[in-house]
Amino acid sequence: MSALNKTNATIGKMQFHLHIKPGDVGKYVLLPGDPERVLRIARHLEDVKEIVFHREYRTCTGTYKGIMVSATSTGIGCPSAAIAVEELANVGATHFIRVGSTAALQTHVKTGDVVINTGSMRNEGTTRFYAKEGFPAVPDHFLTHSLIEAAIALKPERKFDLHVGLNSCDDAFYGETPEFIQMLSDHKLLNVEMESAALFTIAHMRELKAAMVCGVSGNLITSDVEYEKEDPRLVQAWEDAIAIALEGIYHYEQNELKNQI
């Protein structure tokens, strides 16, 4: 069965990996990697309920300022993120915002900062099944701009540092050599993570909307990295990114309503 036929065969039905069905999720879905972070997002929602937790995919749905919003964990990497986006789209989700962690590649980007990316270097294998080499992995302009607007509005109160620009999306967490990391930095990429290329590419190919906001977990150039325990700077960055994503959805929805009048 071809990939297209697999998609067509499952639209509007119970999904094989996520175990979700039509009506379980809103059109807006936040996508953290970690299932535990779905529960963190849920604390920002009203009337929230857990829909299902199967494999690495945990899904909760609630409302934010009257807007139905869901959160689904993707697990680590583009293959599992691709499955999440495909199956969420099959049951009606149309707008996706990755709310994740990322490592900095420039010395001025610090642990605890927030990054909103405008495009990803495709250093992974999943998107080769969707698009030719050289095809750009780019988020939706208007959804991304709504995140930037929300971040600028929240910045004075929450006191985070914000960076906007390009990132790298990689496959092999333990395969990156110092020379490879330096190459990414030399290309003036702000950060590196493991899911955005699949999210951006699949959303474009399926005529959906996608964007990403991440908290910085460490800096691979300055070696400011904490793996042995939870870094409170990163925890705060997650909270900032969630707030930006939710306010970004609200701004985006308001602009959509204005355009319909």
- Domains in the chain: boundaries: 3-260
CA proximity to 248, closest of 144, 114, 155, 134:
144
* Cα dist from 232 to 75, 105, 217, 237, 257, whole Å: 22, 20, 10, 9, 38
Other beta carbons less than 10 A from residue 224's beta carbon: 19
The pLDDT assigned to 260 comes to 64
Calpha distance 77→172 (Å, rounded) = 9
The whole-number average pLDDT for the span 41-46 is 98
Task: State pLDDT tens for residues 124-141.
Answer: 999 999 999 999 999 999
Whether 9 has a pLDDT exceeding 80, the answer reads no
**147 contacts 164 by C-beta, under 8 angstroms:** no
E strands in 81-182: 95-104, 114-123, 162-170
CA proximity to 21, closest of 44, 52, 67:
52
User: Tokens for 237?
Assistant: 């960055």
Task: State pLDDT tens for residues 57-71.
Answer: 999 999 999 999 999
Calpha distance 185→59 (Å, rounded) = 35
The pLDDT assigned to 261 comes to 47
**165 contacts 138 by C-beta, under 8 angstroms:** no
The pLDDT assigned to 259 comes to 74
The pLDDT assigned to 193 comes to 98
Fold (topology level) of 3-260? Rossmann fold (3.40.50)
Helix, strand, coil percentages, rounded to 5, for the chain: 40, 30, 35
Mean pLDDT value across the chain: 95
Q: What is the pTM of this model?
A: 0.95
Task: State pLDDT tens for residues 193-236.
Answer: 999 999 999 999 999 999 999 999 999 999 988 777 889 999 99
Task: State pLDDT tens for residues 152-175.
Answer: 999 999 999 999 999 999 999 999
HEC profile of 204-242: HHCCCEEEEEEEEEEECCCCEECCCCCCHHHHHHHHHHH
The pLDDT assigned to 140 comes to 98
Backbone CA torsion sign across 175, 236, 248, 84: positive
